[in-house]
């Protein structure tokens, strides 16, 4: 069964082009040009994932997400402007799964959608379900003060919650799995973008900066992610 993706954006050019790209990849799409029009449809007939623009008239993406979360747990990706870091943080705290900045690559958006759908399917197939054939959940990863629960997409540092996007989670998980081992940018890209999507290796640098900033919001002394210039990054649990 093809996954259904809802697109909510007041830019009809984006709605049309992204919808066509998703349909080409085998997805079913539903499009809405504003939050109010989308709210009733998404709560009565939830899609497998929704892509929401933050800046919309009548009802913006943040308000739409807040009202959706009162009734459904549909995974959500936000489309944001480059200067919307506060909105990104608020959206993630409210339950968004990821965000991508405009202008964006459609191939990159599709890769993020697939990554979130894979994670959602893995959680649904956990042993909490009745089937005896369900796969065992991934164990919680404990590295020093860091705890990562892949099944729940939950991260804590010294007991405090740290909200990461799917991409940031995958990068940190790759580093933390083998403390002290240097991971190149290419290795981190392979872990974070699993659908043969090309991204510039400096994209990894941007993700690392965001991860560090988020951890330093709960611990200003956080320095567990080390940069080895010319080589890559490594996680230190000391």
More confident of the two residues 26 and 82: 26
More confident of the two residues 124 and 173: 173
Q: What's the rounded Cα separation, in Å, for the pair 77 and 49?
A: 8
Q: What is the pLDDT of residue 210?
A: 83
pLDDT at 130 over 70: no
pTM over 0.75: no
pLDDT at 129 over 50: no
Confidence of residue 124 (pLDDT cuts 50, 70, 90): low
Q: What is the pLDDT of residue 132?
A: 41
What burial letters (b/e) apply to 12-46, b meaning 16+ CB within 10 Å? eebbeebbeebeebebebbbbbbbeebbeebeeeb
Q: What's the rounded Cα separation, in Å, for the pair 191 and 155?
A: 18
More confident of the two residues 117 and 136: 117
Other C-beta atoms within 10 Å of 139: how many? 10
pLDDT at 237 over 90: no
Q: What is the pLDDT of residue 195?
A: 54
Other C-beta atoms within 10 Å of 143: how many? 17
Name the percent of the chain lying above pLDDT 90.
39
Q: What is the pLDDT of residue 19?
A: 95
Q: What's the rounded Cα separation, in Å, for the pair 145 and 160?
A: 10
Average pLDDT over the chain, rounded to an integer: 83
How is residue 200 written in tokens? 């510039």
Name the percent of the chain lying above pLDDT 70.
82
Q: What's the rounded Cα separation, in Å, for the pair 185 and 131?
A: 39
Confidence of residue 87 (pLDDT cuts 50, 70, 90): low
Give the chain's domains with CATH numbers.
4-124 (3.40.50.2300), 141-235 (1.10.10.10)
Q: What is the pLDDT of residue 133?
A: 39
Q: What is the pLDDT of residue 136?
A: 53
Query: Rounded mean pLDDT of 66-91?
Result: 77
pLDDT at 174 over 90: yes
**Phi, then psi, of 202 in degrees rounded to 5:** -70, -15
Q: What's the rounded Cα separation, in Å, for the pair 86 and 216?
A: 16
Q: What is the pLDDT of residue 127?
A: 45
pLDDT digits (tens, 9 = 90+) for 189-231: 877 765 545 555 567 888 898 899 889 999 999 999 999 988 9
């Amino acid at each position: 069964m093809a996954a259904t993706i809802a697109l909510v954006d007041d830019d009809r050019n984006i709605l049309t082009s992204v919808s066509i790209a998703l349909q080409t990849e085998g997805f079913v799409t539903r499009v809405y040009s504003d939050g109010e029009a989308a709210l009733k449809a998404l709560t009565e007939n939830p899609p497998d994932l929704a892509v929401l623009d933050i800046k919309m008239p009548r009802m913006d993406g943040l308000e739409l997400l807040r009202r959706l979360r009162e009734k459904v747990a549909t995974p959500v990706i936000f489309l944001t402007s480059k200067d919307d870091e506060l909105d990104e943080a608020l959206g993630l705290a409210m339950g968004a799964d990821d965000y991508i900045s405009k202008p964006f690559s459609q191939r990159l958006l599709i890769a993020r959608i697939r990554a979130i759908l894979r994670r959602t399917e893995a959680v649904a197939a956990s042993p909490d379900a009745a089937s005896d054939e369900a796969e065992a959940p991934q164990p919680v990863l404990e590295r020093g003060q860091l705890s990562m629960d892949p099944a729940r997409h939950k991260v804590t540092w010294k007991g405090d919650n740290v909200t990461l996007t799917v991409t940031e989670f995958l990068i940190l998980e790759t580093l933390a799995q083998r403390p002290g081992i240097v991971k190149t940018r290419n290795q981190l890209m392979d872990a974070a973008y699993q659908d043969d999507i090309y991204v510039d290796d400096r994209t990894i640098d941007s993700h690392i900066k965001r991860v560090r900033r988020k951890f330093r919001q709960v611990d200003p002394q956080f320095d567990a992610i080390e940069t080895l210039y010319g080589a890559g990054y490594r996680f230190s649990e000391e």
